[in-house]
């Protein structure tokens, strides 16, 4: 059987979106058990499952009625380059985050890109690093528990 490295890495991209939209911040953290999340300049913000979970819990609003942030992360344009030894890879993708709550209709609240590094750990692809680069900002007031302040861009997307 041929291993579909690209497909496995694309699954990671979508598992991230699925976990955050479900309000499963521990699940987001687990995706980074062997990795870290960085700001746009590459500076680490959180490393490892526990720190990434805490990052999301402290910055991302979950609504009481369903425990989710009422968002929909759309991941597009994945460009994945797998190393010749198939144990590391790099990737770029775009994100668009939509949100609708009881107070606001469906709207785009932020867009940008991810620059990722991946590694095989215990026979599975995992995130080694995610650099988040937001580019366009909408109304994040019902999504984040912090003031993103637009250009500061230190909150997860």
Structural domain span for residue 74: 5-137
Domain assignment present for 154: no
C-alpha to C-alpha distance for 78 and 96, rounded to whole angstroms: 13
Distance CA 42, CA 116 (A): 11
Residue 143 within any structural domain of the chain: no
Residue 145 lies in a domain: no
Three-state DSSP state, 126: strand
pLDDT surpassing 70 at residue 16: yes
Look at residue 2 in the predicted model and tell me its pLDDT.
60
DSSP 48-79: SHHHHHHHHHHHB---TTTSS--EEEEEEEEE
Both tokens of 46, joined, read 């959180």
Residue 132 lies in a domain: yes
pLDDT at 87: 97
Confirm whether 34 is domain-assigned. yes
Average pLDDT rounded to a whole number, residues 127-144: 96
User: Taking a C-beta distance cutoff of 8 angstroms, is the pair 128, 119 a contact?
Assistant: yes
Q: Is the pLDDT of residue 151 over 70?
A: no
Closest by Cα among 94, 27, 97, 127 to 67: 27
Domain presence at residue 57: yes
pTM as predicted:
0.92
* CATH number, position 113: 3.10.450.50
> What is the per-residue pLDDT across 29-83, written as a single tens digit (0 to 9) for each?
999 999 999 999 999 999 999 999 999 999 999 999 999 999 999 999 999 999 9
What's residue 26's pLDDT?
98
Residue 109 belongs to a domain: yes
Q: Tell me, yes or no, whether 146 lies in a domain.
A: no
pLDDT at res. 149: 62
What's the pLDDT band for 150 if we cut at 50, 70, 90?
low
When the pLDDT of each residue in the chain is averaged and rounded to a whole number, the result is: 94
Total structural domains in the chain? Answer: 1
The answer to whether residues 15 and 22 touch, using CB atoms and an 8 Å cutoff, is: no
User: At CA 67, angle to CA 62 and CA 69, rounded to 5?
Assistant: 40
Average pLDDT over residues 75-102: 98
């Amino acid at each position: 059987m041929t291993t579909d490295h690209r497909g496995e890495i694309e699954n990671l991209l979508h598992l991230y979106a699925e976990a955050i939209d479900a309000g499963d911040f521990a699940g987001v953290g687990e995706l980074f058990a062997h990795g870290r999340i960085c700001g746009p300049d590459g500076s680490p913000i959180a490393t490892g499952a526990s720190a990434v979970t805490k990052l999301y819990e402290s910055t991302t609003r979950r609504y009481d009625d369903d425990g989710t942030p009422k968002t929909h992360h759309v991941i597009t344009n994945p460009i994945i380059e797998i190393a010749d030894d198939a144990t590391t890879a790099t990737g770029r993708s775009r994100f668009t985050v939509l949100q609708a709550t009881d107070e606001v209709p469906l709207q785009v609240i932020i867009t940008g890109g991810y620059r990722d590094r991946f590694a095989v750990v215990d026979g599975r692809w995992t995130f080694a690093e995610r650099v988040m680069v937001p580019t366009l900002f909408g109304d994040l007031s019902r999504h984040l528990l912090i003031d993103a302040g637009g250009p500061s861009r230190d909150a997860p997307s």
